[in-house]
């Protein structure tokens, strides 16, 4: 088993290195410089939208220039060649390929013809639908996504939005008809500065910005022999997605001012069986910009989000206030209530013990003289014991193994696995290793950490299982290794079938699914068994301070707020209030502004620590109230209370979908709810495990304190 564990770790590390080597670099160290006249590769990736979850590979769109599939004159790169992707890039829908657009350092081109594309009726309809859904395109130069440039309202700051629009639409004020225009000319602006060190002394430059300005130029614009517009600055009309005569000009109506007015009339009998010719062109300009450091070239993508820093600080203060109040309540419970209960319980037991010794050890001559006093002492002791109520009466039942403990142990193990993964991701992101320049790195590292954390999953699951008097650790390890990952893989596979039918790049390729299954069954499962063996055979189960009796105690009636469902909902509301504001930023980044990047991992790390403390304290208070109600079924309850805020997050997701998002289509809606459900399950398992371990430590502490030898 040890040999299997070592082999699994080595193979996993090798796979992760192979999967990540093409994309990872440390900002400020891995600088790529270009000599004057050296080609700069331009990659095309995908088209995506904030109003739908379906993405499409750029070269698979029927209305764009296809790759020429021949070596380019610069660099010898094969046009249309696929760029190696890591696992995270594939899972996030990236499909990066080299393009025919030629960029040469410091060589500007006013206009270059790219291709001429003939569009039929179906191609036009597809383009109209994507323009209506506000799709944007992502191109990549030197690992920077092509950006649309904006200026703040006060014109003091410039910021980028990743991607640029495929086209735009306009509604005619006279007819109310919507006209769609396709952007068929792209002005590319490369911002550069002198390279640092010896490379700069050799005259080499580095890229610090990549901007794309799309424009729609109609077929009626005058063009030269190469197919380029003669005047790019003054374009009268864009390229409308319409087959047939677009407009007829009627100058007949004249008005009192003597001027004529042009009116548009669309022919009703125009043919839709023809084709539309779309000429694609591009321009390239280079601008030296010494105000941007290479290590800070991504900052422009985040400038528009800096205003949220104040909101983040307010959220942290709000979370600290809630956590502080809970801490005060827990301290009161420990310092006053529990401490006084334990002290009184011990004094009562000691008094009872002294009374028994008086009756047993007294001499025969003194027995009659002391019998009256001893009977009085025992009477007082029995009255004192009758006053003992609440959690102190449960010392013989509180550690009784729960029902369905064979399921609770694997869930706790999976929660520890997810907790390790989440801590690693947040820490690496907060330190800057998982930055936007490491494309797909967050997902790739997350998968690697999850697989490796199978050791912790098996270890904790086995120890909890043995604490519940479990016997067959192999069966428990198999359930741990297959239960949660199997549920997640099944959901993803079913959803993937629907996305496959849409020919979207969001669909996970079959080869990638096979790789995931291999990582799961060939690496994670053996690691789970290795951890389970050590946890069950070497570490063993936790020893409880009290023993359970053969006959369980009958449960009394409980108050409404201490019942399972109500307690979970009420207790889950407090952690949800702690993370609500940060959750809003995460939702905006994931669902509303996919062209942006979530980067506030420092704030997220602080909020995560506060969340862990809050969940632990809420669970302790809830379980204490339950034990005071003489209900010893706290094992499952502590897990559900810890993960109760996941229910509120899912409810918030439903509200967010209904009132904040504008997602259209059944498949996109299904993607939203399935992935949200998976995220809530991950969060619920993670926080439920925190609640379970916190409650277990609390119960062990208080019942260990009342144990009298």
Does the structure show a pLDDT above 50 at 681?
yes
Q: Tell me, rounded to whole angstroms, the distance of Cα 247 from its chain centroid.
A: 48
DSSP 158-182: EEEEESEESEEEEE-TTT--EEEEE
Q: What average pLDDT does the segment 38-44 reach?
A: 93
| Of the candidate ranges 113-127, 298-312, 688-702, the one whose mean pLDDT is the lowest | 298-312
- Residue 565's φ and ψ, nearest 5 degrees, are -65, -45
- Distance set, CA 440 to CA 22, 90, 95, 137 (Å): 11, 8, 12, 18
Does the structure show a pLDDT above 80 at 504?
yes
Which range in 171-180, 256-265, 335-344, 477-486 is most confidently predicted, on average pLDDT? 477-486
Residue-level pLDDT at 709: 42
Nearest to 102 by CA among 183, 37, 184: 37
Dist CA 563 CA 578 (whole Å):
24
pLDDT digits (tens, 9 = 90+) for 54-93: 999 999 999 999 888 766 644 556 666 888 899 999 999 9
Residue-level pLDDT at 353: 58
pLDDT-derived band at 413 (thresholds 50, 70, 90) equals: very high
Does the structure show a pLDDT above 90 at 185?
yes
pLDDT digits (tens, 9 = 90+) for 560-610: 555 678 889 999 999 999 998 888 888 888 887 765 566 678 788 888 999
**Domain regions of the chain by residue span:** 33-243+273-301, 305-349+562-708, 399-543
The count of residues in the chain is: 709
At residue 643's C-alpha, the angle toward residues 641 and 649, to 5°, is 120
Residue-level pLDDT at 279: 93
pLDDT digits (tens, 9 = 90+) for 330-385: 888 777 777 777 776 666 666 655 555 545 554 555 445 445 544 444 444 444 44
Dist CA 548 CA 400 (whole Å):
6
Cβ distance 702 to 626 under 8 Å? Answer: no
Q: Tell me, rounded to whole angstroms, the distance of Cα 456 from its chain centroid.
A: 22
pLDDT digits (tens, 9 = 90+) for 523-552: 999 999 999 999 999 888 888 887 877 677
- Strand 276-288 and strand 185-194: the pairing is parallel
Residue-level pLDDT at 253: 42
Q: What average pLDDT does the segment 461-472 reach?
A: 93
- Distance set, CA 183 to CA 93, 180, 225, 232, 576 (Å): 23, 10, 21, 13, 44
| Of the candidate ranges 40-54, 241-255, 320-334, 422-436, the one whose mean pLDDT is the lowest | 241-255
Which is more confident, 68 or 107?
107
Q: What average pLDDT does the segment 478-499 reach?
A: 95
The 3-state secondary structure of 410-458 reads: HHHHHHHHHHHHHHHHHHHHHCCCCCCCCCCHHHHHHHHHHHHCHHHHH
Query: CA 349, 350, 356, 361: dihedral to nearest 10 degrees?
Result: 160
Q: Which helix (H) or strand (E) holds 44?
A: strand 42-48
Residue-level pLDDT at 563: 64
Dist CA 224 CA 247 (whole Å):
24
CA torsion sign for 491, 492, 497, 498 is positive
Q: Residue 653 is encoded by which pair of tokens?
A: 């997701």
Q: Residue 304 is encoded by which pair of tokens?
A: 């528009």
Share of the chain above pLDDT 70, in %: 79
> Which residues on adjacent β-strands are paired with residue 56?
47
pLDDT-derived band at 262 (thresholds 50, 70, 90) equals: very low
Q: Residue 181 is encoded by which pair of tokens?
A: 């225009």
Does the structure show a pLDDT above 80 at 631?
yes
Q: Residue 463 is encoded by which pair of tokens?
A: 């120890």
pLDDT digits (tens, 9 = 90+) for 19-28: 333 333 444 4
Residue-level pLDDT at 210: 96
3 state SS of 671: helix
Residue-level pLDDT at 6: 41
Dist CA 475 CA 486 (whole Å):
16
How many Cβ atoms sit within 10 Å of the Cβ of residue 438?
A: 23
Cβ distance 167 to 181 under 8 Å? Answer: yes
The 3-state secondary structure of 249-271 reads: EECCCECCCCCECCEECCCCCCC
Which is more confident, 298 or 262?
298
Q: Residue 207 is encoded by which pair of tokens?
A: 């890229």
pLDDT digits (tens, 9 = 90+) for 645-671: 999 999 999 999 999 888 888 999 999
Residue-level pLDDT at 361: 52
Nearest to 514 by CA among 211, 133, 90, 100: 90
Q: Residue 682 is encoded by which pair of tokens?
A: 């991950």
């Amino acid at each position: 088993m040890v040999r299997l564990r070592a082999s699994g770790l080595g193979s996993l590390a090798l796979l992760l290195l192979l999967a990540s080597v093409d994309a990872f670099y440390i900002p400020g160290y891995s600088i790529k410089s270009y000599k004057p006249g050296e080609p700069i590769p331009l990659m095309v990736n995908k088209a995506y939208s904030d109003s739908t979850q379906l993405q499409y590979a750029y070269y698979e769109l029927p209305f764009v220039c296809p790759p020429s599939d021949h070596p380019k004159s610069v660099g010898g790169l094969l046009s249309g060649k696929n760029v190696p992707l890591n696992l995270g890039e594939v899972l996030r829908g990236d499909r990066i390929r080299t393009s025919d657009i030629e960029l040469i350092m410091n060589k500007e081109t006013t206009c270059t013809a790219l291709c001429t594309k003939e569009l039929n009726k179906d191609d036009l309809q597809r383009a109209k639908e994507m323009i209506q859904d506000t799709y944007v395109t992502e191109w990549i130069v030197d690992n920077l996504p092509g950006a649309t440039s904006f200026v703040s309202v006060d014109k003091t700051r410039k910021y980028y939005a990743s991607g640029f629009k495929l086209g735009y639409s306009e509604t005619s004020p006279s007819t109310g008809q919507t006209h769609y225009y396709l952007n068929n000319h792209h002005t590319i602006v490369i911002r550069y500065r002198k390279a640092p060190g010896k490379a700069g002394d050799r005259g080499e430059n580095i890229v610090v910005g990549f901007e794309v300005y799309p424009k729609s130029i109609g077929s009626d614009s005058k063009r030269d022999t190469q197919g380029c517009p003669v005047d790019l600055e003054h374009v009268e009309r864009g390229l409308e997605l319409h087959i047939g005569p677009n407009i007829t000009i009627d100058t007949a109506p004249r008005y009192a001012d003597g001027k004529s007015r042009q009116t548009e009339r669309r022919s009703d009998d125009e043919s839709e069986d023809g084709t539309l010719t779309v000429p694609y062109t591009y321009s390239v300009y280079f601008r030296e910009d010494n105000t941007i450091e290479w290590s800070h070239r991504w900052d422009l993508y985040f400038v528009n989000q800096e205003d949220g820093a104040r909101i983040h600080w307010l959220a942290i203060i709000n979370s600290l206030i809630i956590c502080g109040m809970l801490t005060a309540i827990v301290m009161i419970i420990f310092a006053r209530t529990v401490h006084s209960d334990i002290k009184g319980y011990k004094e009562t037991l000691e008094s009872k013990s002294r009374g028994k010794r008086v009756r047993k050890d007294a001499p025969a001559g003194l027995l009659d003289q002391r019998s009256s006093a001893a009977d009085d002492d025992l009477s007082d002791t029995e009255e004192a014991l009758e006053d003992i109520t609440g959690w102190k009466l449960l010392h013989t039942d509180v550690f009784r193994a729960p029902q369905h403990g064979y399921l609770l142990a694997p869930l706790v193990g999976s929660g520890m696995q997810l907790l390790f993964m989440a801590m690693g991701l947040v820490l690496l992101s907060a330190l800057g290793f998982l930055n936007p320049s490491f494309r797909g790195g967050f997902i790739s590292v997350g998968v690697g950490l999850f697989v490796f954390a199978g050791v912790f999953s098996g270890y904790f699951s086995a120890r909890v299982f043995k604490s519940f008097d479990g016997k067959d650790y192999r069966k428990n390890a198999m359930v741990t290794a297959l239960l949660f990952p199997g549920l997640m893989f099944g959901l993803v596979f079913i959803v993937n079938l629907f996305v496959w039918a849409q020919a979207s790049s969001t669909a996970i390729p079959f080869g990638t699914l096979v790789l995931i299954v291999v990582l799961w069954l060939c690496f994670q499962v053996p690691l789970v068994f290795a951890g389970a063996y050590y946890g069950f055979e070497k570490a063993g189960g936790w020893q409880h301070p009290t023993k359970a009796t053969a006959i369980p105690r009958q449960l009394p009636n409980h108050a409404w707020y201490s019942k399972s469902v109500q307690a979970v909902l009420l207790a889950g509301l407090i952690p949800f209030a702690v993370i609500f504001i940060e959750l809003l930023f995460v939702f905006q980044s994931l669902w509303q502004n996919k062209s942006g990047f979530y980067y506030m991992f420092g704030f997220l790390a602080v909020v995560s620590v506060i969340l862990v403390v809050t969940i632990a304290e809420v669970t302790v208070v809830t379980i204490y109230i339950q034990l005071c109600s003489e209900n010893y079924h706290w094992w499952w309850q502590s897990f559900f209370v810890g993960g109760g805020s996941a229910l509120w997050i899912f409810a918030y997701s439903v509200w967010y979908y209904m009132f904040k998002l504008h997602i259209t289509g059944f498949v996109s809606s299904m993607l939203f709810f399935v992935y949200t459900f998976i995220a809530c399950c991950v969060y619920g398992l993670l926080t439920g495990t925190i609640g379970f371990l916190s409650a277990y430590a609390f119960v062990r502490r208080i019942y260990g304190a009342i144990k009298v030898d």
